[in-house]
Amino acid sequence: MVRLRSRVALPRPLRRAGFSVIGSLLLVWATTWSLAVPSVAAELQGRVLDTESQQTVPGVVLRLQSVAGGSTRHGVSDIDGRYHFADLPSGRWELEARSLAYHPARIPVNITDSTVTVDLLLAPLPLVMDEVVVRARHDERQHTAAFVERLEVAEIAAPGADLPDLLQQASGVDIRRYGGLGAFSSLSIRGSTSEQVLVFLDGVPLNQAVGGGVDLGSLPAGGVESIDVYRGAVPGRFGGNSLGGVVHLRTRPAGGPPRVRLLAQAGAFGTYQLSTSVAGRHRDWDGLVLVDYSRSDNDFRFWDDNGTEYNRTDDEWARRRNSDFGSGRVLLRAARHVGAARMQLSHTQDVSHRGLPGIGNFQALDTRFDTRRGISEANVFGPLAQGRAGYRLKVYRSAERTDYKDLQGEVGVGIQHDRNTTTGTGLRVEGNLLLGPLLTTLFSGVHYERFSPQRLLDRVSASRSTSRSSRRLGTSAGGEMEMARFSNRLVINAGLQIERLDDDFASTDGTQVSGSRRQQSLWSSNLGMSFDVGAGWTAQSHVGRYGRPPGFFELFGDRGTVIGNINLLHESGRNVDGGIIYRAVPKRTGLLLVEAVAYDNEVDDMIRFIQNSQRVSRPQNIGRARLRGIETRAQGMLASRWRLEGSYTRQQAENRSPFSFETGKDLPNTPRHRLRTRVDLDAPGMRLHYEISHESRHFLDRANLRPVPARTVHTLGARVPAGDAVTFAVEIRNLTDNQVADLWGYPLPGRAAFLSVDIDLSLSGN
């Protein structure tokens, strides 16, 4: 066998050329592979700083993109303004930072085979549109004539504390409640009625045209991050017409570093709370999901006088019955940047179920009250004209349904089972423009509210609930001006607003009656001044005039106990206050905060209920009151271990109605003296706190014949961190087991202990 082998002979020049081509291809492939697969992964870290204050900026959205393309990383600066990107290929990158409070910034970054540190400098925008999302350098508490106090829930929250407990720590605020946790609670600021205080949840009003004030007991505290309490001057974005003040509840914002939080609490009277939340960022979206559930049996013991105040032989210890409550909250929030603007969507769903136990000596055993509330809103806001102007658009819808069931006739007049539904839809547009030292804000809005009652025991009424609805259409427009002079040391605020209301009421039998339609206009105005004295001291003063329209209950009445009066005028009032504030900047040991304020307010045409017979009353515009007082508060730090804070309020809420048995007397539920002091100690491995609150005697009735004794409550607690993610807390309230009662003899809990476990885990590897 002969094996044939063929071979093609190439000339030497071609062989050399082939070797050169193959070698070149191998060299190009090796170079490409070495560039595509880095030998060492690099890191990029740094801080985001304000160019003016040189302070770190948290919550800045960061985007890191490879110049070669194909790789993009996202991040957010943490609470200390720091950011961190890991496992980065070497090469040229571009780092972009965006925040509505600052001009966008974009810088090139050269990543090498080691850790690269780059600090970003952001130039502040002169205008910031949304105080809820943006933690801006324009702090409204320092650039307005309003006396506003911010309560940071993370700093003051205690195991078992509900929303009224948190608000009780603010200066000038009085909370009145019908029992323990979750019970009906009303709010008063500077001696006002609960109807005269506006309450907002993330900018959405909770006050309803039906009247009666906002029940704080039905609002869960889960997810609430901070609370702003305005006394006196009220910013125009809250509607302006507020005789008493404004309480703004802010829930947690969306986004931030990915993290999950678990909170479990347990305590006396069968009290439990479970809360969980997940927040973070996915691609261009910031998100937050929160679920909260609370319950309590509220079966505390109290000293029962059996309704015989002056006969002590029948006094005995009793157990509170039918006082249980359960509440839940679901909060969903998403936000993202759309160009230079910011869009935010959110929905809050609250549910509460509770018993109404009645007064101390006669406890109702079967009366129940349920509440369902849903609030949806959409916000779009952002800067214009290089930050010299801006806009904000808010659309919201709220729906609340309450069920009152008293089938034994224990609390109300007769057997009742009522279901009331209130829906509201609103639109608000706001625009700002900065011209030199003058900042001008123009706003307008429209709000439509519908109140539909149902008497479930009345078949005819229940079937005609649609025709029995009462409606209110409100439109408002106004403007505010802020002018800074003398190198921003003097700031002058002025505002004017008009609100027009168009009401359409239904009668008790579901038919329209003559005079059920009415229109009215309310004007409000204010003028304030803030002057930077220097060394951290600021002097402020304010004068304003506000009004409150009568609610459906006052204008229309109910099925028999209250006769409506459609000829009621709106309440009007004049507010004047002035004071001085000291804030230490930067914060250090020693004196941190001092505030002293004097106020003098008058209210005209107060709406009062006049009893026509034993069981029937009718509202009239006959009341007048003068509210005067002094508010003080202070905070300080000693040796970096002791923190002290306290507040003292002395007020005189004088009734000036024309009735001889009322004039010159104190308004109901307005104690003249209120003192609160708290001491925190950073001991090794824990933080201890002690708090004492004192309230002077006040009265339940207008004639000052039914006094409520002075009371002093002591509280002791501790917080023990177990690592970086877990914190244990314990608190004992009312250490001396002081037996006190509130509105109309409703007893309050005695000594009680609560325990909580807070787990806060970061899901970010950076």
- How far from 235 is each of 148, 255, 429, 597, CA to CA, in Å? 11, 27, 15, 19
Say yes or no to pLDDT of 245 above 60: yes
Least confident of 132-136, 148-152, 295-299, 545-549: 132-136
CA distance 134 to 138: 10
**What's CA 331's distance to the chain center, in Å?**
13
Query: In this predicted model, what pLDDT tens digit does every residue of 345-364 receive, in sequence order?
Result: 999 999 999 988 876 667 88
Q: 413 CB contacts (<8 Å, ≥6 apart)?
A: 560, 561, 615
In the DSSP assignment, the letter for residue 203 is T
My answer on whether omega of the bond before 205 falls inside 30° of 0, hence cis, is: no
Query: In this predicted model, what pLDDT tens digit does every residue of 486-520 receive, in sequence order?
Result: 877 898 989 999 999 998 877 544 444 444 677 88
> How many helices and strands (H and E) does the chain possess?
5, 41
Query: In this predicted model, what pLDDT tens digit does every residue of 664-690 receive, in sequence order?
Result: 898 888 899 999 999 999 988 899 999
Mean pLDDT for all residues in the chain = 81
The H or E element containing residue 36 is helix 12-36
Between 257 and 513, name the one with better pLDDT.
257
Between 141 and 602, name the one with better pLDDT.
602
Least confident of 111-120, 394-403, 642-651: 111-120
Cβ 760 vs Cβ 725: under 8 Å: yes
**Amino acid 466: pLDDT:** 44
Q: What fold is seen in the domain 329-709?
A: Maltoporin; Chain A (2.40.170)
Confidence class of residue 459 from pLDDT cuts 50, 70 and 90?
A: low
**Amino acid 11: pLDDT:** 43
HSE-CB for 349 with a 13 A CA cutoff? 5
Cβ 211 vs Cβ 195: under 8 Å: yes
Which amino acid type is present at position 159? P
Q: What are the extents of the domains in the chain? A: 42-122, 329-709
CA distance 600 to 627: 6
Query: In this predicted model, what pLDDT tens digit does every residue of 639-657 receive, in sequence order?
Result: 888 999 999 999 998 988 8
Q: 311 CB contacts (<8 Å, ≥6 apart)?
A: 305
**Amino acid 307: pLDDT:** 67
**Amino acid 561: pLDDT:** 54
Least confident of 13-22, 38-47, 552-561: 13-22
Cβ 238 vs Cβ 198: under 8 Å: yes
Query: In this predicted model, what pLDDT tens digit does every residue of 563-603 receive, in sequence order?
Result: 677 778 888 888 999 999 998 876 667 899 999 999 999 98
Sort strands 185-189 and 197-201 into parallel, antiparallel or unpaired.
unpaired
Cβ 471 vs Cβ 448: under 8 Å: yes
**Amino acid 743: pLDDT:** 60
CATH 2.170.130.10 fits 42-122, yes or no: no
Q: What is the mean pLDDT of residues 202-208?
A: 86
**Amino acid 476: pLDDT:** 92
Q: Which two tokens stand for residue 261?
A: 């939080």
Say yes or no to pLDDT of 121 above 80: yes
Least confident of 261-275, 296-310, 518-532, 630-644: 296-310
Sort strands 115-117 and 42-50 into parallel, antiparallel or unpaired.
parallel
CA dihedral 619, 620, 624, 629 (to 10 degrees): 10
Q: What are phi and psi of 498, to 5 degrees?
A: -125, 135
Say yes or no to pLDDT of 1 above 50: no
**Amino acid 71: pLDDT:** 77
Closest CA to 630 of 581, 583, 577, 592: 577
Between 387 and 337, name the one with better pLDDT.
337
Q: What is the mean pLDDT of residues 309-320?
A: 79
Q: How many C-beta neighbours within 10 Å does residue 210 have?
A: 19
Least confident of 31-40, 217-226, 232-241: 31-40
Q: What are phi and psi of 314, to 5 degrees?
A: -105, 10
Residue with tokens 């911010």, as numbered in its chain:
150
Cβ 406 vs Cβ 375: under 8 Å: no
Q: What is the mean pLDDT of residues 117-145?
A: 58
CA distance 267 to 259: 27
**Amino acid 543: pLDDT:** 92
**Amino acid 519: pLDDT:** 85
Say yes or no to pLDDT of 20 above 50: no
Query: In this predicted model, what pLDDT tens digit does every residue of 596-640 receive, in sequence order?
Result: 999 999 988 887 766 555 445 677 777 788 999 999 999 999 888
Q: Which two tokens stand for residue 617?
A: 């009353």
Closest CA to 539 of 530, 527, 549: 530
Say yes or no to pLDDT of 731 above 90: yes
Q: Which two tokens stand for residue 542?
A: 């304010």
Task: Say if 42-122 and 329-709 have the same CATH topology.
Answer: no
Cβ 424 vs Cβ 449: under 8 Å: yes
